[in-house]
Structure 1
Amino acid sequence: MSVLDAVLVVAALLLAVGGAVAPRTARLAAPVLLPLLFAGAGFQLLFEGFVVQRVPAYLLLGVATWLLVRTPRRTLPAALLLGVLVPVATAVWALPPVPRLPPPDGAYPVGSTVLRWVDESRPEPATADPGDHRNVVVQAWYPAEFGSMPRQYLYLDGHGDLPATISGIPSVLLSRYHLIDTHAGADVPLADDRPRWPVILFSPGYGAPRAVYTGLLTELASRGFVVLAVDHPYQVAVTELADGTVAHGVPNSGTDAEMAAQLAVRTADLSFALDRIGTADSVLTGRIDTTRVAAAGHSFGGAAAASALAHDPRVIAAANIDGTLYGDLPDQRLPGPYLLIDSDPALTGHSAAYVDGNRKLLGGVQGGGHHYTIGRTDHLGFTDAPLFLAPPVRTLAARWFGGERSAVETRRATADLLAAVLGPPLGERPADVAAVASRYPDITGGPV
């Protein structure tokens, strides 16, 4: 919430309460405050456009004005103030128009670039047009050169053509999310500390655009990894294709057979991204080693990461964050290393398919398996979604949304575990994974 938002809410609330319980005193302040408040609201509407989250603030302003000019002049019941005005004010604070992402805490500043490609060898299975070919979109997050001048990077693809909802959030509430500060510079130079940087492929959850993992991915990039976040068109809510078309998610049956087919598409997307990133003209050209890559993902993207490890020899380690497995993936003999990170089962309620499939896959890992559960974190706690709520509301809603562990701590703990397991195969310094997990309360598990 901006300073102007806060001033509008607090001043309108004070005037409304004053008009109800102390009208004479409030009327003394009204000739000065009301014009300023209306001017502030007008400024917002004129220069920033309509924002639905601000409607409660404007309602408060209207209530304050009515209470100061109404007749007869009598005190309103306290129940009305508590039952109407305070909830309205709380609603304003609940969903800030531009959420704030905490900056990553690694040693490097972060850069980002977006690459959009067409795989001419594959038709697009989600559309009826036989001339459509599969698009793959990659946003790279990487260690940037110190002294690079960062600027805000677009948070969502297709911002002007969003679907009705994104990850369950009405898109009308996302109208200013393009102003979210990702703490990254667009197309700034890659840091020159190393001739080549280790690579982590990342696949998002089904329906979730890559954007909602920005906090975790920038955290990894700040620690010295080039993270290639792959958007899978038509499987995620919104993706801008290579020709500028905005693709929305396509529903599917959710059966094991359908999800297995979608998983095969994702696995091919990840391999194609590795094929192209090594030859594409970008700030990464010649600076990454695509013969030694780790894969990671959340939810359905976690299954895709495991599948990439099973099917692409360039992927030499993988991590699945809270992902159910489909098809024959539980029967694969992964070369490893392989990491499974669970959210708290008491909050997420993992299905039998999740539990049984992951137990079977872990039992067949040949090169070192690890399994950790992050307590007090639910399935959405690994995304940016909890940060879309204002801090007080986030705390109140934690039991049902995100978990009681802070979003920043969940992000940091997840990044620590990923770096500890995926880093050494990529040439990073060996880490004591158990010691990393022990830094945080309520994280259980170990090697399997």
Structure 2
Amino acid sequence: EQIDFNFETASRATDVSFVIDQLTHGNTAWRLAHLIDKHQIGMAGHSLGGGAAAATMIADPRVRAGVDMDGAFHPAPTPGQIDRPFLMLGRGDHTPGGHDTTWEQAWAALGGYKKWLTVTGADHFSFADLEVLQKQAGFPAQPALSPERGMEITREYVTAFFDQTLKGICSPLLDGPTPDNPEVLFQN
């Protein structure tokens, strides 16, 4: 059976909008809704979830900033669909001219503040906790980048991106390569 990735990301976008509604909408809102700043909602996703972050931003303007961690875009946004901040964070082969052409298409279409970062030595799961958990369970780690380092890079850059785009806290980490993070390369 063939998976319809466009359907999957659109479905996830609908689910996210539903959750935002349930958490923040009027008298039926979650009892702790006052803790949510409806003007500072960001969405980050790994793999298919990264594509869903883009699809959600296209469908729901309440999501003010998005992050795709090593996921293809299904479909790639077109010019004018996303004019808000977006971070593309992926493994080393997510470069211009790379195997996943949706990254170049998305990059060209993004209209707001944007960053395209690749991480040398990372694999697909370097941006999630699977490899950390596998290592703790005794499974041998295969990537050139240690699972702990992958998580550290992910935490640092995603936090800096959301701090800057949603809270106005500027981070020099997003200005360009740093000696402390030689694995992180800035594209375009």
The TM tier, using the shorter chain, reads 0.7 to 0.9
1:427 maps to which residue? 167
SS in 2 for 1:342: strand
SS in 2 for 1:280: coil
SS in 2 for 1:316: strand
Please report how far the alpha carbon of residue 392 of structure 1 lies from its aligned counterpart in structure 2 after TM superposition.
10
Task: Work out the CA distance in 1 between the residues paired with 2:158 and 2:20.
Answer: 20
Off by >6 Å, runs of 4+ in structure 1: none
Please report how far the alpha carbon of residue 390 of structure 1 lies from its aligned counterpart in structure 2 after TM superposition.
4.3
**RMSD of the alignment, in Å?**
2.5
Quick one: which amino acid aligns to residue 361 of structure 1? A
For structure 2, the 5+ residue unaligned runs are none
Provide the aligned length of Structure 1 versus Structure 2.
180
1:120 maps to which residue? none
CA contact (8 A) 1:375 1:442 kept: yes
CA contact (8 A) 2:10 2:56 kept: no
Task: Work out the CA distance in 2 between the residues paired with 1:351 and 1:425.
Answer: 27
Identity, in percent, stands at 22
Quick one: which amino acid aligns to residue 261 of structure 1? F
2:110 maps to which residue? 365
Task: Work out the CA distance in 2 between the residues paired with 1:307 and 1:419.
Answer: 21
SS in 1 for 2:116: strand
1:306 corresponds, among 34, 44, 54, to 54
2:9 corresponds, among 227, 250, 263, to 263
SS in 2 for 1:345: coil
Q: Work out whether 1:375 is the aligned partner of 2:120.
A: yes
Please report how far the alpha carbon of residue 326 of structure 1 lies from its aligned counterpart in structure 2 after TM superposition.
1.6
* Cα shift readout 1:302-331 (whole Å, capped 9, x = no counterpart): 00101112221111111100011123x332
Task: Work out the CA distance in 2 between the residues paired with 1:288 and 1:376.
Answer: 37
Task: Work out the CA distance in 2 between the residues paired with 1:268 and 1:332.
Answer: 21
Q: Work out whether 1:330 is the aligned partner of 2:73.
A: no
2:158 maps to which residue? 418
- Taking structure 1 as reference, are residues 388 and 287 closer, same or farther at Cα in structure 2, changes over 3 Å only? closer
CA contact (8 A) 1:343 1:373 kept: yes
* Cα shift readout 1:41-81 (whole Å, capped 9, x = no counterpart): xxxxxxxxxxxxxxxxxxxxxxxxxxxxxxxxxxxxxxxxx
User: Comparing both chains, which one has the higher relative contact order based on Cα–Cα distances under 8 Å and sequence gaps of 6 or more?
Assistant: 2
CA contact (8 A) 1:309 1:335 kept: no
1:253 maps to which residue? 2
- Taking structure 1 as reference, are residues 317 and 437 closer, same or farther at Cα in structure 2, changes over 3 Å only? farther
CA contact (8 A) 1:373 1:443 kept: yes
Between structure 1 and structure 2, the one with the greater Rg is 1
In proportion to residue count, which structure has more strand? 1
- Taking structure 1 as reference, are residues 357 and 285 closer, same or farther at Cα in structure 2, changes over 3 Å only? same
- Taking structure 1 as reference, are residues 430 and 273 closer, same or farther at Cα in structure 2, changes over 3 Å only? same
